[in-house]
Amino acid sequence: EAQVTQNPRYLITVTGKKLTVTCSQNMNHEYMSWYRQDPGLGLRQIYYSMNVEVTDKGDVPEGYKVSRKEKRNFPLILESPSPNQTSLYFCASSEDQPSYNEQFFGPGTRLTVL
């Protein structure tokens, strides 16, 4: 089954404790990205990757890191999480850039930073 998986689905942590949210896709997609969704706001892109070893900032990259060492994986790293990073996070992938390709989203990771 074609899918995007994220782990963990739920995470409660404390300020400053480094964490990683994993994302994996099995569709051989070139493009992957991370979004956050906050109450009353739409999805905002954090980082995206056009291909292996190619990543770039989205609209809200501050406080986040990503890596793309393999085509299928695109982990999101919070080196020193803060309460304002409490949010719902979605990973997404598409065959190519999202301009003409639908994105497939993972189920989401609900992160709470205390």
Partner 1 sequence: DQQVKQNSPSLSVQEGRISILNCDYTNSMFDYFLWYKKYPAEGPTFLISISSIKDKNEDGRFTVFLNKSAKHLSLHIVPSQPGDSAVYFCAAIGGSYIPTFGRGTSLIVHP
Nearer to partner 1, 17 or 63 (CB): 63
Q: Please choose, out of 12-20, 22-30, 68-76, 99-107, the segment that lies near partner 1 by the rule CB under 8 A.
A: 99-107
Q: Which of residues 15-34 bind partner 1 (CB under 8 A)?
A: 31
Nearer to partner 1, 53 or 80 (CB): 53
Answer whether 70's CB lies under 8 Å from 51's CB: no
Nearer to partner 1, 59 or 70 (CB): 59
Which residue, among 47, 97, 43, 32, has the nearest Cα to 77 in the 3D structure? 47
Among 19, 107, 111, 113, binds partner 1 (CB under 8 A): 107
DSSP structure class, residue 30: S
Binding of partner 1 at residue 69 (CB under 8 A)? no
Taking the C-alpha atoms of residue 47 and residue 91, their distance in angstroms, rounded to an integer, is: 10
Taking the C-alpha atoms of residue 25 and residue 31, their distance in angstroms, rounded to an integer, is: 10
